[in-house]
Amino acid sequence: MRFISLDKAQDGMKLSRPATNEAGVVLLESGTTLTEPLIRRLLRIGVRSVCIGGDPDAATLDEALDQLKRRFDLTRNEAHMALLESAVAEYLKELYAD
Amino acid sequence: MQTREAFHHEMQQMQELSTIPVIVRKLLQIFDNPYLSLSDIAAFVSKDPVLTARLLQVVNSPFFGFKGRIGSVAQALLLLGLNQAKALLMGMRLFDFMKEMEGLWAHSIGCAIIAQITARRKRMREAKELFITGLLHDIGKVFMYLKLPDTYRSALEMAEKNRIPIIDAEQKLFQSTHPEVANWVFENWNLPRYFIEPIRYHHKPSLARTWPTRSALLHVADILTRARGFGSGGDSLVPLLDETAWTRLAMSRSEINSILWESEQFIHEARSFLADE
């Protein structure tokens, strides 16, 4: 999933996390399909970004994990690096889970 | 190839050099002029609409905690403090000249936010300062590029072709590295030591003597940002964690996870509002 700024949101996009206000109150449930009037209403309330599927730098989880693996190529076997790599991998799996 | 000493000398003269954008030179002069008041400085900043907009967006963003309440430049300067405001405004303007190194700005924003969130979780009072330290930690790359663009391009190519960290390529081609260059330039620009020392040692935090905790935190934030893959610092490799810094922060697996979750939304928001209009 990825967060996009609300002014770039478009009709038809589907929320992959609930849209909340700054106090954390849920305004729209996860899975809601955005429409122009909904986007305008969120903007008026002051919501700045919403979460939709995917990531700007990697389209799929496999791609994200593959990139992660390559980033650790030179340092994987050193102290603490394996822990860091697996913590980030776990995070990416949660991020991409819909 | 010039010697390291000659390069050091040239970088120290950076403020007078034509390579430094006029706006940055003016900002330095104005912030360092003891006879100017806060409202004089605010008036100067307000003349630059892009800078004004970005400054207000930063102080009104949720991670600074004044969400939507700061309407004027003077108020923003007062809340940030002059040292912070000076570093932030200069940094934002300097990165404009680094378009060629795609991803450096995104990496810097990522590091700034992760540094601030980590500092808050560790109950450090300087969280706001760590945001700006994170934003500026790689600015030495911008200075090197402004001074010798062709050589810096070669360093980037060398890092990519040989799959080595950019800092090693810098060492080979400049006999110097971006943390060292940032240190030379910033000392002449009268930035506070608590910014300079962590930036100087963000690859070797155990050498920091006066600000070891901030230096450790910046080091770990940089590595977390690289591990997560926000933007690019010039190569896509995750450098080694420094043992002392890592132990000092005592970060658990679940804490890494929470920091990444907390930063995700802020980073995507910041990427859109700090980007060029």
pLDDT for the residue numbered A18: 77
CATH number at residue B14: 1.10.3210.10
Mean pLDDT by 10 residues, chain B (277 residues): 78 67 86 91 90 85 75 91 88 80 84 93 88 92 91 94 96 95 88 93 96 97 95 90 94 94 79 55
Domain count, chain B: 1
pLDDT for the residue numbered B277: 40
Q: B57-106: per-residue pLDDT in tens?
A: 888 877 777 777 888 999 999 988 888 899 889 888 888 877 777 788 88
Q: A46-67: per-residue pLDDT in tens?
A: 888 887 765 556 667 888 899 9
On chain B, the residues whose CB falls within 8 A of the CB of A5 are 268-269, 272-273
State mean pLDDT over A30-39. Answer: 84
Q: What is the ipTM of this complex?
A: 0.84
pLDDT for the residue numbered B9: 82
- Chain B touched by A24 (CB under 8 Å): no
Mind spelling out the 3-state secondary structure of chain B?
A: CCCHHHHHHHHHCHHHCCCCCHHHHHHHHHHHCCCCCHHHHHHHHHCCHHHHHHHHHHHHCHHHCCCCCCCCHHHHHHHHCHHHHHHHHHHHHHHHHHCCCCCHHHHHHHHHHHHHHHHHHCCCCCHHHHHHHHHHCCHHHHHHHHHCHHHHHHHHHHHHHHCCCHHHHHHHHHCCCHHHHHHHHHHHCCCCHHHHHHHHCCCCHHHCCCCHHHHHHHHHHHHHHHHHCCCCCCCCCCCCCCHHHHHHHCCCHHHHHHHHHHHHHHHHHHHHHCCCC
Are residues B175 and B3 in contact, defined by beta-carbon separation less than 8 angstroms?
yes
Interface contact flag, A68 B265, Cβ < 8 Å: no
pLDDT for the residue numbered A67: 92
Are residues A6 and A47 in contact, defined by beta-carbon separation less than 8 angstroms?
yes
Helix B22-32 with B82-95: angle, nearest 10 deg: 170
Q: Is B99 exposed, middle or buried (0-12, 13-18, 19+ CB in 10 A)?
A: exposed
**Phi–psi pair at A32, nearest 5 degrees:** -65, 135
Give me the count of residues in chain B: 277
- A28: part of which helix (H) or strand (E)? strand A26-28
Task: Say if strands A49-52 and A2-5 run parallel, antiparallel, or are unpaired.
Answer: antiparallel
* Position A98 confidence tier, pLDDT thresholds 50, 70, 90: low
- Chain B touched by A71 (CB under 8 Å): yes
With b meaning 16 or more CB within 10 Å and e meaning fewer, what string describes B176-194?
A: bbbbbbbbbbbeebebeeb
Interface contact flag, B227 A73, Cβ < 8 Å: no
- Chain B touched by A44 (CB under 8 Å): no
Structural domain containing residue B40? 4-273
pLDDT(A85) > 60: yes
Q: A3-27: per-residue pLDDT in tens?
A: 777 887 888 777 877 787 776 677 8
Among B117, B203, B257, B265, most A C-beta atoms within 10 A, so best to mutate, is: B265
pLDDT for the residue numbered B35: 92
pLDDT for the residue numbered A57: 60
pLDDT for the residue numbered A1: 53
Shortest distance, CA B253 to any CA of chain A (angstroms): 6
The domains located in chain A, with CATH, are 2-52 (3.90.105.10), 61-96 (no CATH)
B residues 55-74 closer than 8 Å to A (CB): 62, 67-68
